Amino acid sequence: MSSQPAIRSIWKLPLFGISAAVAANLPGLISGNGLLPFVLTGVLPIVSGVIVLAVAAANIRRKLLSSLATIVAFSLVAWLLFKFSYDIYAAGRWLAHSEQYKAAVLAQPQPPNGELKHIEWDGWGMAGSGDTTVYLVFDPDDRLPSASVKADRLTGLPCPVWRTKRLGPHWDYVVFYTDTGWAGCP
């Protein structure tokens, strides 16, 4: 019976570190890659990291293992969430609004030259650095790779691709390189 409070006590600090990492990455997970989420996702992990380090340092003498686990948990979760924040954001957006997006894409006429039906789905950029546009693509034959991939040319797409990601059967998002759009390659 006395081991349960000890076990809970050991995991309190690492759970605090994980919670801080999630909170630090929340702007990017909710709002994508806009300027404000980008800035907040750059600042909040630093502030959260300092707080986690302070809490871990204050407890290090009493709970060395928990303090070290807190720092590792925060660092690992913050890095993973930062690395995959757009994928998490896109998946959430797709789950919440996929029917609307599907209707918008499928309502378009068949494009020429075997290109895939698509709409502009998202985008980001800053003054002087160029714009990046994300396209939602209907791929009825599932020709696009299902994993995140960079490629010079993919069938049905007009330009080299920086990234593709499968959202569901026949549906992908495609990101061309910065300042490249569906209308043409630079």
pLDDT greater than 90 at residue 99: yes
Q: Where are the domains of the chain?
A: 3-98, 108-176
Model pLDDT, residue 104? 96
Q: Which of 145, 151, 135 is nearest to 166 (CA)?
A: 145
56-65 burial, b at 16+ Cβ within 10 Å, e below that, comes to: beebbeebee
C-alpha neighbours within 13 Å on the C-beta side of residue 156 = 18
**Structural tokens at position 83:** 């690395």
Residue with tokens 């907040």: 40
- Which percentage of the chain shows pLDDT scores above 90? 19
**Alpha helices of 32-156 — where are they, by DSSP H?**
35-59, 64-106
Q: What integer best gives the mean pLDDT of the chain? A: 80
Residue 171 has pLDDT above 80, yes or no: yes
Contact 185, 159 (CB under 8 A): yes
Mean pLDDT of 64-86: 82
| 31 vs 67: CA distance, rounded Å | 32
Q: What is the pLDDT of residues 114-164, one digit of tens each?
A: 889 999 998 877 666 678 889 999 999 888 886 666 666 778 888 888 888
Confidence of residue 15 (pLDDT cuts 50, 70, 90): confident
